[in-house]
Each structure stands twice: as C-alpha cells, then as structure tokens.
Amino acid sequence: MATDIRNTAHAVEAAAAMKLVPGRPRLLALGEPTHGEGTLLDLRNELFRQLVEQEGYQRIAVESDCVMGLAVDDYVTSGTGTLDEVMEHGFSHGWGAFAANRELVRWMRAHNEGRPASEQLRFAGFDGPLEITGAASPRQALAALHGYLAARVEADLLPCTARTLDRLLGADDRWTDSAAMMDPSRSVGRSAGAGELRLLADDLVALLDAQTPHLVAASSQEDWERARLYGRTAIGLLRYHYWMADTSPGRMARLLGVRDSMMAANLLALAERGPVLVNAHNGHLQRSKSTMRMGGLPVEWWSAGAIVSAHLGEEYAFLATALGTIRHQGVDAPPPDTVEGLLYALPEQRCLVDARRLAAALADATPAPRVSPWFGYSPLDPAHLADSEGIVFVKDLAQG
C-alpha cells in the first residue's frame, strides 16, 4: 500500500500537474482547505507562474468580489492606480492584506510590462459582492449596467431611467444591514421595490443581449463583457437578497446555492475568453455536492466547481489541497488511517498526488474520514478522492 501511494506522488510543479489533466483544460482550479495561510498562497503563486510561463494561461481568477477585482485587472494591464490602492480596494474578504496576494498582483503587473494587450495576463475576482455577514447593495452593478446602455441605445428602449433605479434602491444601508443574515425580517429582498428591481434588472440584461452587435461595435468587446458582468452581478445580488428574506427551512441552502451559482456563471464567462487558472476554497471547486451543518441541521448545495464541471466536462480540472498539520491552529499530525495520515507518512514536505490512482490504491481499504479540531480546516472526504485530478499535499503548515 505504501509503495502504491508513493508511486502516485510527484513534485508540485506545472509539468506534473499537466500530466494529471486532459489536454490543457479551459479552467484549471487549485483549491485550498483553509483560507489565509501564506504557505499555500506562496505555493499557488509559484505554480500559477509556471503554468502561465510554460502552458500559456493568460487569466488568473481568485475567490474575491468580481466587481472590486476590475480595479486589480486595470492595474495589472495598464498600471491604473497604485499597488497600495488596488490591494486596499480591489479585494474583498480582507484578502488584500495578505503578502502573497500583493506579490501575485505585483508579479502580474511586472509580467505585463511592455507586452501587447493580446499577450497580457488578466486578473479576475469571481465571487459575488458577498460577505459572511451579508450582501452588497445592487446599486453599483445596476447603475453601471444602466449607464453603459443609456450611453449607447435609444432612450425609449430602456425599461427605466436612472432616477427610477435610484428611487427603488433607496439608501444602501437598507441592503447591507448585517442583522438580515440571521433575521429575515430585516431584509428588504422581498419588498415591492426589490421585486420591481428584479424585473428591471432582467429587462436591462435582455436589452444588453438583444443589442450585442451594436454595443460591441459602439464600445468594445471588453466594455460589453464588463456590462455582462454587471448584469450577472445585479441579478445575482437581487436573487440573494430575495432569499435572505425567506423564512423557510431551505433558506440557507438557497443562499449558499445562489452564491456558488454566481461564482460558476463568472467562471464560465471567463472560460469563454480563454484558459483560466482558478484559486478558491476546495469547497467551492469540488465536483461533489457540498454539505455542512448549520443549527444542527444538514445543508446541501452544488458548488461552483460542480456546476462548471457539468458544463465543461473534461475542460474543467480540479487540484484539491490537503494538509498534514496546522499546529498554530491546534491541528496536529493526522491519524494514520486517514488519507492525510497516509500522505503524511511520505518523505516529501509537499507533493502532488494523482488522485485517481490514489483512490484506486485505496479501493480495498477505504480510509477513515479525518475530523479537524479547528473549524477553519476542511479535511479531504475519502469517498470523493477520484472527483479531483490531483491532490496537493503540504505536510506541515508553518505559521506566518
């Protein structure tokens, strides 16, 4: 058994990763089992750099606000703003504070210097404007979409004026009230105004689609793609707010599903424009159904990776990441009868394992699931090893 597992392990590098995936997938996703650890982000940076330089990937997408990420893309492609500004305003979830994310953006800008636009490396956030505590107002996305259309189509084609949108939106703090996450009665998502906004957002997106030939000619493919992003975001946010106001038992599953659906739509739109490298939590990228317990009850939904995989088939590839120890978080050496325990016995500090060969080697002795003492780390599910192409294993995660 040990020999079989050892034979599946390779160095964590682009050449080894590409041997595990079919061809050059349009979406090559690298997951992480916990957020904010510098070692994992540094490893991502090095692997993505190799994949860009050796395999020609030209887009990097991370689990961050898709609208905020436009500022990062502007910086890495044209130098708009400063590095400090884009790290502060171009990332959600506090990701801009991490040194490895700053280094990624700095490297992307340096890589693009002097290159023609067609050869430049692009950045994208693919999460919605969502935080654990709630969701953003749809104002920014709706106003940007309306403004793009109003400048380029006849006024009588628009379903409403900007003033109407502003009146229906009201104050932004109505939408961003963090109490609404736990108290549906505090949400405005099912108010009459919100319902009207959902219809108007749908009409604006329909107009954007119907006027595609004219709009691309009158602006640019790039501007039209951004308008599509604003449209997806506006509709997704209004849908998310609608379900925040729900009081049924399925409320949380709906919210989680809406978020991952927004992620999937953004990834599929990016994939239309060329191969993409993706980084997010394993739970957002896995092919199997996502599950968690909330309030003592199980919640299930399909992740962005599962949705994208259903659309793209073999053009979606997923490398999960697993860890041995995170001692600064109380996660000590894994039990030897778990997948992580078996990998921990290998001599390498980090390695890339062929997930499907590993699953086959363990077919007659299914490992026990690992239980993490820290809620912030999600162990591998031994029942779904073969759902990824590879597993990046890091033996010991140092603090810092």
Note the pLDDT tens digit of each residue in 258-312. 999 999 999 999 999 999 999 999 999 999 999 988 877 899 999 999 999 999 9
What is the CATH architecture of 1-132+263-396? Answer: 3-Layer(aba) Sandwich (3.40)
pTM: 0.97
- pLDDT at position 346 is 94
Contact present, 369 and 338 (Cβ < 8 Å): yes
Beta-carbon contacts of residue 16 (< 8 Å; ≥ 6 apart): 10, 352
In order along its 400 residues, the chain shows pLDDT tens digits of 455 778 889 999 999 999 999 889 999 999 999 999 999 999 999 999 999 999 999 999 999 999 999 999 999 999 999 999 999 999 999 999 999 999 999 999 999 999 999 999 999 999 999 998 899 999 999 999 999 999 999 999 999 999 999 999 999 999 999 999 999 999 999 999 999 999 999 999 999 999 999 999 999 999 999 999 999 999 999 999 999 999 999 999 999 999 999 999 999 999 999 999 999 999 999 999 999 888 778 999 999 999 999 999 999 999 999 999 999 999 999 999 999 999 999 999 999 999 999 999 998 888 999 999 999 999 999 999 999 999 999 999 987 6
Report the pLDDT value the prediction gives residue 399, as an integer from 0 to 100.
Answer: 78
Q: List the beta strands (DSSP E) in 207-309.
A: 276-281, 290-294, 297-301
Looking at residue 351, what is its pLDDT?
97
d(CA 29, CA 278): 4
Predicted local confidence at residue 356, as pLDDT: 94
Q: What is the residue extent of each domain of the chain? A: 1-132+263-396, 134-250
Nearest Cα to 168, choosing from 146, 150, 149? 146
